[in-house]
Amino acid sequence: MSELFLNNVSLRDILFGALPKVLLALLCGGMVGIERQLKRKAAGMKTHMLISLGSCLYAVVASMIWDYHKSLGGAGDPSRIAAQIVSGVGFLGGGAIIQGRGTITGLTTAATIWVAAAIGLCVGVGDGLLAVLVTVLVVVALTMTSFFETRVLGHVATYKCRLIMQGTKEECRVRVAEHLDRNDLSLDQMQTRADGTRTQVTLRYRGMGDDHQQFVRDLWGTAGVEEVAVE
């Protein structure tokens, strides 16, 4: 039966049917992934291209199998393969999400992986125009929301800082915590290590860029602070 199916697929079907869809899926997936690549996310352009390509290829093969069974007078349901694509991509998206110390990252990347699979599926079933329109909308949405967050709402980011200051560990923790509260910054982690009369403080915190810069300036202006290094 498999040999009959392979013989039923001609080179013309591949070159003029499947290949243009595959190339379009690669292009659309790459357009979505390049925005993630520019932001240095783990799942970048190559990942999104392969996800879109794979979804498209599964849809194309499902359509070929369905057409083959119809030619033999049988019946089939190509949507079952599409359902498995959704399950598989959900697994990939879950792997892109990282949770630690109360902070969750990777949600946007997981969402773009999910959308890239849907775009590839659109191309695979023959609706290339919808796939292109959705790709443009996704790229515009990712770009414009980043601009809106940065220029209008302010950009919340995670920062790491290491400083050396005079005083005990308890005194240093209190002074650093006061500066964080004053600048509306949220503390994720703080570690202290005493070395004689000096204490090394390593902390990770979240907040707006302007608040972070003011926090660093406040640290330099604090009595007893000898060194401030932002990573």
Q: What confidence tens digit (pLDDT) does each residue in 206-226 have?
A: 887 778 888 888 888 888 888
Give the per-residue pLDDT at 12. Answer: 61
Give the per-residue pLDDT at 214. Answer: 87
DSSP letter (8 states) at residue 18: I
More confident residue, 58 or 99: 58
Q: Residue 13: which pLDDT band, with cuts at 50, 70 and 90?
A: low
Q: In terms of Cα–Cα distance, which of 90, 217, 212, 101 is closest to 159? A: 212
Q: Residue 91: which pLDDT band, with cuts at 50, 70 and 90?
A: confident
Where in the chain do CATH 3.30.70.260 domains reside? 156-230
DSSP letter (8 states) at residue 149: I
Q: What number of other Cβ atoms are within 10 A of residue 177's Cβ?
A: 14
Which are the contacts of 107, defined by CB distance < 8 A and separation ≥ 6? 97
Mean pLDDT in residue range 151-164? 76
Q: Is the pLDDT of residue 164 over 70?
A: yes
The mean predicted confidence, pLDDT, of the chain is 81
Mean pLDDT in residue range 185-198? 88
- The single-letter code of the amino acid at 36 is R
Q: Is the pLDDT of residue 1 over 50?
A: no
d(CA 43, CA 113): 8
Give the per-residue pLDDT at 18. Answer: 79
Which are the contacts of 63, defined by CB distance < 8 A and separation ≥ 6? 78, 124, 125, 126
Whose structure tokens read 């990777």? 106
pLDDT (tens digit per residue) in 95-130? 777 654 445 567 888 889 999 999 999 998 888 899
d(CA 105, CA 222): 33
Burial pattern 147-165, b for ≥16 Cβ within 10 A else e, equals eeeeeeeeeeeebebebbb
Which are the contacts of 51, defined by CB distance < 8 A and separation ≥ 6? 29, 89, 92, 113, 116, 117, 120
More confident residue, 193 or 85: 193
Share of the chain above pLDDT 70, in %: 79
DSSP letter (8 states) at residue 228: E
The two tokens of residue 217 are 């300036």
Domain over 156-230 is classified CATH 3.40.50.2000: no
